[in-house]
């Protein structure tokens, strides 16, 4: 059988369980699903395994409440925490989720000192920074999922507008995962053609704004809870790049050391991912406005990180 990494998914809620399901159905990884709620991960994992004869996957999943079971994980995906309710910003979740993610990271690194930590819990950029600090890991092994999702949302909105196949659109959204995210139209392409040649500036701005509001649009519909189908697909895209050591460039929340004029903070930029984590940050050409917006977004992340006094 080909190489299958051991992936721990922490949090068996909407995003965690759907991520686990996609990982095993695509035979990407063997999964440990862990949660504080007794029975929840066990029940969901058993239910998923019982679909194996029909879905024909060979990967396995085990549900647990014990961190011992996560021992030797190659990748740990952290989705544990509270999700947004209508009217809440991602920043409102800061202190509660910091407590949860901090505790989870401490447990996980004890059993998987060589793992890659992939953070999903909001506020995403701050939680990724916190995980990096708490883990003591080198920054290339701690990064977060946000840009992959924001870019997928933007790609879908463009496909809808141009009536083309969604996967033919390759979108690029940078910056922190918040209202200050930075869609980059010149690097957003349909079969290689930038959308700046296909759509009017007004249409592009409307799509940019809908992308920024993409999470809130779903929260408004659902009323309780937030998005999880596209978020889990986005996590799986990143885990797959790691598992296959593909070197795919995916917008990710990574530690910056001067790229784009930004230093010592986590922020969303195009990152090349492989088995060891972040291989490199791709520095794409940006307009002056985009550069300024990216720096402003990074400063907002830095201010929120400071609130945690780490």
> Which residues form the interface with ligand TXD (CB under 6 A)?
10-16, 35-37, 79-84, 93, 97, 100, 103-104, 120-122, 124, 145-146, 149, 177, 225-228, 231
The residue (of 82 and 198) whose beta carbon lies closer to ligand TXD is 82
Do 41 and 35 form a contact (C-beta atoms < 8 A)? yes
The residue (of 182 and 199) whose beta carbon lies closer to ligand TXD is 182
177, 187, 221, 300: the catalytic one is 177
How far out from the chain centre does Cα 164 lie?
25
In whole angstroms, the minimum distance from the beta carbon of 191 to ligand TXD comes to 26
The residue (of 190 and 268) whose beta carbon lies closer to ligand TXD is 268
In whole angstroms, the minimum distance from the beta carbon of 205 to ligand TXD comes to 22
In whole angstroms, the minimum distance from the beta carbon of 131 to ligand TXD comes to 12
In whole angstroms, the minimum distance from the beta carbon of 26 to ligand TXD comes to 19
75-78 vs 189-190, strand pairing mode: unpaired
Task: Give catalytic status of residue 177 as yes or no.
Answer: yes
Q: How many C-beta atoms surround the C-beta of residue 220 within 10 A?
A: 11
The residue (of 37 and 292) whose beta carbon lies closer to ligand TXD is 37
Do 59 and 27 form a contact (C-beta atoms < 8 A)? yes
Cα(55)–Cα(24) distance, integer angstroms: 10
The residue (of 44 and 140) whose beta carbon lies closer to ligand TXD is 44
Sequence-distant (6+) residues with CB within 8 A of 72 are: 6, 111, 112
Q: Fill in the DSSP letter of residue 207.
A: H
* Two tokens, residue 149: 């999702």
In whole angstroms, the minimum distance from the beta carbon of 207 to ligand TXD comes to 18
In whole angstroms, the minimum distance from the beta carbon of 253 to ligand TXD comes to 8
Which run of H or E residues covers position 13?
Answer: none
Do 119 and 141 form a contact (C-beta atoms < 8 A)? no
Residues in the chain: 310
Q: How many C-beta atoms surround the C-beta of residue 153 within 10 A?
A: 25
The residue (of 102 and 194) whose beta carbon lies closer to ligand TXD is 102
Q: Closest-CB residue for ligand TXD?
A: 13
In whole angstroms, the minimum distance from the beta carbon of 1 to ligand TXD comes to 30
Cα(17)–Cα(229) distance, integer angstroms: 10
The residue (of 4 and 90) whose beta carbon lies closer to ligand TXD is 90
Q: Looking at the annotation, which residues are catalytic?
A: 177
């Amino acid at each position: 059988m080909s190489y299958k990494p051991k992936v721990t998914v922490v949090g068996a809620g909407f995003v965690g369980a759907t991520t686990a399901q996609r990982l095993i159905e695509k035979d990407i990884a063997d999964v440990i699903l862990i949660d504080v709620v007794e029975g929840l991960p066990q029940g969901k994992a058993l239910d998923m395994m019982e679909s194996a004869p029909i879905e024909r996957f060979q990967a396995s999943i085990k549900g647990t409440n014990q961190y011992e079971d996560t021992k030797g994980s190659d990748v740990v995906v952290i989705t544990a925490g509270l999700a947004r309710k209508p009217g809440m910003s991602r920043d409102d979740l800061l202190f509660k989720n910091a407590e949860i993610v901090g505790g989870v990271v401490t447990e996980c690194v004890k059993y998987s000192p060589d793992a890659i930590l992939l953070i999903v819990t909001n506020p995403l950029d701050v939680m990724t920074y916190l995980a990096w600090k708490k883990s003591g890991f080198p920054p290339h092994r701690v990064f977060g999922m946000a840009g992959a999702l924001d870019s997928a949302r933007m790609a879908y909105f463009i496909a809808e507008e141009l009536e083309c196949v969604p996967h033919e659109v390759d979108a690029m959204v940078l910056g922190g995962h918040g209202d200050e995210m930075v869609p980059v139209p010149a690097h957003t392409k349909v079969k290689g053609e930038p959308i700046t040649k296909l759509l009017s500036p007004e249409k592009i701005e409307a799509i940019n704004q809908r992308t920024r509001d993409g999470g809130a649009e779903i929260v408004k519909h659902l009323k309780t809870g937030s998005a999880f189908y596209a978020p889990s697909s986005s996590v799986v895209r990143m885990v797959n790049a790691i598992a296959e050591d593909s070197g795919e460039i995916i917008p990710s929340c990574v530690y910056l050391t001067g790229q784009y004029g930004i230093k010592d903070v986590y922020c969303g930029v195009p990152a090349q991912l492989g088995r060891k984590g972040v291989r490199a940050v791709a520095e794409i050409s940006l307009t002056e406005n985009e550069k300024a917006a990216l720096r402003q977004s990074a400063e907002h992340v830095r201010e929120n990180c400071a609130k945690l006094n780490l």
